[in-house]
Amino acid sequence: MAAASEGESQELLLRQWERRQVELKQQMIDHDTEDWQNNEVFEGLERIGGMDLSYIKGDEVNACASLVVLSYPDLKVVYEECQMVCLNAPYIPGFLAFRETPFLEEAVRRLQDKDPSLLPQVIFADGNGILHHREFGVACHLGVLTDLPCIGVAKNLLHVDGLEEKDLLKEKVKDLQKGGNAFSLTGSSGKVLGMALKSCEKSTKPIYVSVGHRISLDTALRLTHSCCKYRVPEPIRQADIRSREYIREKVHIP
DNA sequence: GCGACAG
DNA sequence: ATCTTGTCGC
């Protein structure tokens, strides 16, 4: 038998990944499960995690994964870890999780072993939750695999079937007057997959919030807004800053 | 058919 | 994601 062509094995891999997403999706919980999620000021919430991967210009293999934990409501960094990792999956829209999640999960595990008392009560992931082709983005993967509440926040919109065309979207974005204003993003099934949020007064461009695991969209949106000193929620922003700083020192030595 | 497409 | 400084404005 002839070996499968690159294109054929690529297709097989994607089908396999799709099945994995459908399988994991059965374990996802799309509503609030924690006490702190039920009151206006999130009383009982003390630690929020933020995760991110930073890449290197022409390097397809090396990257830096970071996990930070911030205090709430102060939003001060109380834990930080950066780790160089070797990427083994390409970036394909709809399959970001297979590229990044393994390292994010490992980072959470290391913290679990190192100091369980610092484990975050909710994690912000850089990317989408159910605002996704199969309603199972990177924030869902991370949430289910760690069984921690997880919120997906994307800085750019992933085009999912059913979301309105560019023009209508642009108009809705213009209508976002004040920080905290938002509008829902509905999929072809009619289900609300996420919200576009004007995260702070200054920003023109919204961020896209969606449920990852163990949290409702309403709670996710409120918490996200309360974590925004700037456009990007502080947990993700700090993780981002620290991982790229780590690379700048590790790689810019020559 | 072509373009678009989280990071 | 990444390549990149200054600059206009509150």
CATH of the domain at A237: 3.30.2170.10
Q: Which nucleotide is nearest to A137 (CA to C1')?
A: B6
Is A183 a domain residue? no
Task: Look at residue A1 in the predicted model and tell me its pLDDT.
Answer: 59
Q: What percent of chain A has pLDDT over 90?
A: 83
Q: CB–CB of A126/A236 below 8 Å?
A: yes
Is A10 a domain residue? no
- Tokens standing for A178? 């004040």
A189 three-class SS: coil
Is A124 a domain residue? yes
Task: Look at residue A254 in the predicted model and tell me its pLDDT.
Answer: 55
Q: Which of A128, A141, A132 is CA-nearest to residue A209?
A: A128
Mean pLDDT for the stretch of residues A89-101: 97
Q: How many CB atoms are located within 10 Å of the residue A209 CB? A: 30
Is A179 a domain residue? no
Q: Which residues in A9-30 are b (16+ Cβ under 10 Å) and which e? A: eeeeeeeebeeebeebbeebbb
Is A54 a domain residue? yes
Is A169 a domain residue? no
Number of domains within chain A = 1
Is A172 a domain residue? no
Q: Which nucleotide is nearest to A55 (CA to C1')?
A: C1
Domain span at residue A50 reads 27-157+211-251
pLDDT tens per residue, range A174-206 = 888 888 999 999 998 899 999 999 999 999 999
* Sequence-distant (≥ 6) Cβ neighbours of residue A169 within 8 angstroms: A157, A163, A196
Is A73 a domain residue? yes
Footprint of strand B on the protein (CB under 7 A): A 52-53, 55, 91, 93-97, 126-128, 132, 137-139, 152, 154-159
Question: Nucleic chain C: which protein residues 149-178 of A have CB below 7 A from it?
Answer: 155-156
